[in-house]
Amino acid sequence: MLVIVAPGQGAQTPGFLTPWLEDPAFAARMEWLSTVAGIDLIDYGTNADAETIRATEIAQPLLVATGLVAALQLFPQPADAFSKIGAVAGHSVGEITAAAGARAISAEQAMVLVRERGKSMAEAAAKTPTGMTAVLGGVREEVLAAIEKHRLTPANDNGPGQIVAAGTLEQLEAFAAEPPAKARLMPLSVAGAFHTKHMEPAVGHLARLAQSVSTHDPRTRLISNKDGHIVHDGAQALDRIVGQIANPVRWDLCLETMSDIGVTGILEMPPAGTLTGIAKRALKGVETFALKTPDQLEDARAFVEKHGEANPIETTPTWRMVVAPAKGTFTLAEAVSGLDVLPAGTEIGAIASLRDTIAITSAHGGEVIEWLVEDGDLVSPGQPLLRLHPTGVQHS
């Protein structure tokens, strides 16, 4: 099982784009996405210093564009990719890369969204002096208790031994003066407290823009930063990307979902290294590949062939599927038993896991073609539950 992941802000380094631009096709695509974003990404990715590309409004479009164009280098025939990729996920802004890679939104839509995301987050960060500090090691419960004590937010929960606290500089100073036992604090070079309430003004701006974005159901399993759930409705995926700006990144739960679906290989898009490093610590026995430079492409393709397998989510223009967001026991809603047609938004049942119970709705509605599970079945993340045919559309 292959999972493709896209890194978030902080992964960029000066000049990291230079070797990629030797390929004329890569350079042309970057130029196009630069035009869409209204930013000279080629110049920033080759000539700018670390401080310049640290700026939120520059780093975010640069990362998303690089991930998308590198994916086309890895998969010259994009349609072939979905027969090999088991799931995709992105950390923070990398979730936009993942959503576009899964075809929930287009590359051009992704670039407009990330441009506005970066600008609005930078503006929100400028209103109050805030920051982020990585907490490495320590006992998880004690770390979270210390973060709460100082009224900070665990903005990134990245897995065992790595939680990022975020809040005002005053709160972070107090936290540094009274750190959790056996933990090391590392202030991060970021412009503000991302994924906290301090970013709420940016959410409103992006939410208004998102109303005009057309979406499609992802072509493969898309793992959400919000809770690690598999999302198979394009509109819901976009809503989660918008809301995630002011809410914590639960990468730990994304890793848990990868484990649940049986991941054997994780390939990180450039600029790679951060997420594969986390995976090595959290998912023992899972192979990783950090794609950093184009001379690794052949080895990366071999990695894809080794771990790739058929995508369980089939796609066709003539029917829709409802899939499980998480693992657990499926309970069929009595109200839908025996129905031949379901209205959009119908609750078809629930999945009970050790953590919670998740209501499952049919986002699109339509004629029931086939139930793929039965009441009481154990299901895995991304497993198809129900196949529907849109009403008013001729069967193929």
Write the CB contacts of 277 (distance below 8 Å, at least 6 apart in sequence): none
8 Å CB contact between 168 and 259:
no
Distances (CA, A) of 255 to 91, 235, 251, 345, 376: 11, 23, 6, 29, 26
Q: Hunting for tokens 């202030």 — which residue is that?
A: 187
- Active-site annotation holds for 92: yes
| Listed residue (282, 289, 286, 314) closest to 304, CA to CA | 289
Out of 91, 120, 150, 195, the active site residue is 195
State residue 330 phi and psi, 5-degree precision. Answer: -85, 130
Is 389 considered catalytic here?
A: no
Burial class (CB in 10 A: 0-12, 13-18, 19+), 331: middle
Q: Which two tokens stand for residue 97?
A: 């890369």
Q: 56-74 vs 107-127: helix axis angle to the nearest 10?
A: 160
Of the listed 92, 120, 224, 362, which one is catalytic?
92
Task: Give the residue from 330, 76, 104 showing the smallest Cα distance to 222.
Answer: 104
* Catalytic positions, written as ranges: 92, 195
